[in-house]
Amino acid sequence: MSRPHAAALVEDAWNSRMNQVLAGRGWTPRAVGHTGYGSADFVRVLGRVLLSRHPEEETIDAKDLAGPDAELGPERKVRGWRAFMTAQLMNAEVEVRIGETVHRTRTDRSGYVDLTVTGHDLEPGWHEVTITPVGGVSAEAHVQIVDPSVRFGLVSDIDDTIITTSLPRPLIAAYNTFVLTEQARHIVPGMAPMYRELLEERPGAPIFYLSTGAWNTEDTLNRFIRRHGYPAGPLLLTDWGPTNTGWFRSGQHHKRVTLHRLAREFPQIKWVLVGDDGQHDPKIYGDFARDRPDVVRAIGIRELTTTEQVLSHGLPVSNEGFAPRVHRPVPVVRAPDGYGLLRQLRAVLAQG
């Protein structure tokens, strides 16, 4: 659509007015770094710029971000709603320092920075880049550069795959997102060991956590991932706000677009896609495998329990069948936890 949706126009007007009022009261910009990624050809830097009354005090320490050697700080009982009480800075000038080179960009209408740079000098591995809003407080953002020799990668859903959240029923989802503390959320048995072992057997292989969750929850999710021993990796989340086509973004569209983007960015990698049967992962992964069977090595589906299925969508069984139509067979394995999935995936991967 050439004309923005009415919801987007209303949101933009509200945010613009809030930016003016808060800036007039002395609030200043501060950057928030998200975890990015890249290859020998490019690096994608992700972050956000917010307005803050006390930006120096609110700047998140680098150890709170996902990284290969991050350490856990003191346990904090953080309720999810606090992450959504933000004032994003629209169309703000931002400098991104990658190595010794500074690149300039602007935030989008929701305050996000999403900058792709080619021709960088970063070696494979983890690095930090600096995001600095003009006149504001900078933040470090981790980026993982994948070695061009890597041929294996993991894509994992988050909700009900590595963490139990009982989505998508609105009331339960809202309670889990806005009320529960980080420590009250539960892991899915065996998933962290499965990911660790698969990646340890293939040094340098990346894992991407792909979710329909909001970017506001990234810090909470990163702390959960680190606390429970999941491998560090970029979180590819979305913005829950209005778009040019409607009141809310499509989570399914976000996942489909992201999978195809990863396939383009890393054409040499064959992916293992892991999700659950409580929402739309089987269909999304199946459609992707049908379209790109050349880059999908296997699909792993975590089967929800009867109780989890009821909490997820109101029925005691999976609400979707799974019969992907692909040009050549793509192995699909199913199990209720990571231990069962690991045994089956190892058997599939051993076949070459």
For 241-269, what is each residue's pLDDT tens digit? 545 444 455 678 999 999 999 999 999 99
- Whether 253 and 320 map to the same domain: the answer is yes
Type and span of the H or E element at 53: none
Task: Please give the residue range of the domain that contains residue 329.
Answer: 152-350
- Whether 97 and 202 map to the same domain: the answer is no
* Pairing state between β 163-164 and 152-156: unpaired
What pLDDT sits at residue 313? 56
Yes or no: say if 131 and 139 are a contact pair by the CB < 8 Å rule.
yes
Instruction: Say which CATH number the domain at 81 has.
Output: 2.60.40.10
Name the pLDDT band for 130 (thresholds 50, 70, 90).
Answer: very high
What pLDDT sits at residue 72? 39
> Could you tell me the pTM of the whole model?
0.83
- Whether 264 and 334 map to the same domain: the answer is yes
Say how many Å lie between the first and final Cα of the chain, rounded: 45
Name the pLDDT band for 183 (thresholds 50, 70, 90).
Answer: low
Higher pLDDT, 31 or 172: 31
**25-75: per-residue pLDDT in tens?**
778 899 999 999 999 999 999 999 998 887 665 544 434 444 444 443 434
**95, 116, 145 - which closes a domain:** 145
- Whether 173 and 28 map to the same domain: the answer is no
% of the chain residues with pLDDT over 70: 69
What pLDDT sits at residue 60? 44
Yes or no: say if 327 and 293 are a contact pair by the CB < 8 Å rule.
yes
Instruction: Say which CATH number the domain at 156 has.
Output: 3.40.50.1000
- Whether 78 and 131 map to the same domain: the answer is yes
Q: Which residues contact residue 134 at a Cβ distance below 8 angstroms, ignoring those fewer than 6 apart?
A: 29, 92, 93, 94, 95
- Whether 82 and 134 map to the same domain: the answer is yes
Average the pLDDT over 302-331 and give the result. Answer: 64
- Whether 119 and 202 map to the same domain: the answer is no
**218-249: per-residue pLDDT in tens?**
888 898 999 999 999 999 998 755 454 444 55
**91, 117, 145 - which closes a domain:** 145
Peptide bond into 124 cis (omega under 30): no
pLDDT at 119 over 60: yes
